[in-house]
Amino acid sequence: MIPLSAYVAVSAVLFTTGLIGVLIRRNFIIVLMSVEIMLNAANINLVAFSHYLESMAGQIVALFVIAIAAGEAAVGLAIIIVVFRGRLSTNVDELNLLKW
């Protein structure tokens, strides 16, 4: 029997990987991919607790997280396309349109 803490540890490692990806990458699309890694880490956590605490709530919330990830990907990629059309770049350092 695998202990719950093993799943939580895997989820923590994946979350840290995604966080580092958001912080160090310059390409906006890869930053969005790192956000997907973090959402997946959260899903592992939810499903693991759902299994070990014998409740269905975790799996339901994980489904909602997947739906929100789909919406986030669609809107985020649309924003990337709009920005790329004006500047021909997806570098996050050059995106300072909203800075004042």
Partner 1 sequence: MVLFFFVYFSLVSIVAGVFTIAFRNPVHCGLALLTLLLHVAGLFVLLNAEFLFAVQIIVYAGAILVLYLFVLMLLNLKTEQRYLHTRHAIILFATAGIFGELLLLLLQSPFSGAKGDAPAVAILQDGDSFAVGIKMFSDYLLPFEIVGVFLLGAIIGAIVLAKTPTAVDAEQE
Tell me if 40 contacts partner 1 by CB under 8 A.
yes
Is the separation of the CB atoms in 18 and 38 below 8 Å?
yes
Is the separation of the CB atoms in 18 and 37 below 8 Å?
yes
Q: Find the shortest distance in angstroms from Cβ 100 to partner 1.
A: 22
Is the separation of the CB atoms in 75 and 30 below 8 Å?
no
Tell me if 20 contacts partner 1 by CB under 8 A.
yes
Q: Find the shortest distance in angstroms from Cβ 72 to partner 1.
A: 8
- The contacts of residue 58 (CB under 8 Å, 6+ apart) are 46, 47, 48, 49, 50, 51
- Toward partner 1, which CB reaches closer, 30 or 95? 30
Tell me if 94 contacts partner 1 by CB under 8 A.
no
**Angle, alpha carbons 72-78-84 (nearest 5°):** 130
Binding stretches for partner 1 (CB under 8 A): 1-2, 4-10, 12-14, 16-21, 23-27, 29-30, 32-34, 36-37, 40, 43-44, 47-48, 50-57, 59-60, 62-64, 66-75, 77-82, 84, 90-91
